[in-house]
Amino acid sequence: MAHCGNHTVYFDLQHGIPKIEVIGHVILQKSARAAAVVMKKRTGFNTKRCISDDFRPETLESLVQQVSYGGNPEHKRNPGDFGLTPPSQPRPDKSLCDDVKIFSKATALQLLKEGIRRGLVSQSLRNGFPQNIWAVTANGVPVEAQLENVTLGIYHGYPMPSGDPFAQKVISHWRHIDE
C-alpha cells in the first residue's frame, strides 16, 4: 500500500502491480480485462433498514433451522475454515470479520442464528427470508448479515462500521433482550 495525499494504491503482493487505487471517494480497481473499473466509495448508509417486530417466536425458530452461512472473501483477510473461493480477497472499502475475531464458519453461523432468535431481522423479505439479520459479538461489536442466496437462505456477514448510525439500534435491541 502507498499513500500520497488523498491517493492510496493497494498492490497485488504476488505480482507487485497496482491492484486498487483510491482517489478521494472514488475507487479504481485494476482489472486484467480493462484498464480500470470505477466504483464509487460508499458515502452514506442505508437509511431504509429497520428491525421487524412482525415475526412470532415460532416463525423465528423455523428460520433458525433454515438459514446457513456462506461468507464472502471480500470481508476476510485470513480464510479460516470458510472454504471460500478465492479464500480471501479483502477490499479496502469493506469491513473485515478478522478485525472482530470471527475466524470460523461455526462462529458466524452461531451469531446469525442468535440474531434471528432475538428478533434482529429486517422487515424486507425475499422468498420468505429476511434481507438482513443483525447480531452483536461477545466483544460488543454489531455485525450485519445480508441474504446472498434467496433460494437456500444463505447469508454473508461483516462488522458494521463504527460510523453507521443503525449500529447503535442493533446494540440497544440486543441489550434489551438480555435484560
pLDDT average, residue stretch 70-75 = 70
What pLDDT, on a 0 to 100 scale, did the predictor assign at position 92?
66
pLDDT(68) > 50 = yes
The mean pLDDT of 95-119, rounded to a whole number, is: 84
- What's the grid cell of residue 164? 453507521
pLDDT band at 28; cut points 50, 70, 90 = very low
150 neighbors 129 (Cβ within 8 angstroms) = yes
C-alpha 125/C-alpha 122 separation (Å) is 7
pTM of the model: 0.69
Res 84: pLDDT: 60
Distance of alpha carbon 21 from alpha carbon 11, whole angstroms? 9
**Single-letter code of the amino acid located at 49:** R
Split at pLDDT 50, 70, 90, the class of 60 is very high
Instruction: Please provide residue 53's backbone torsions phi and psi, each rounded to the nearest 5 degrees.
Output: -120, 20
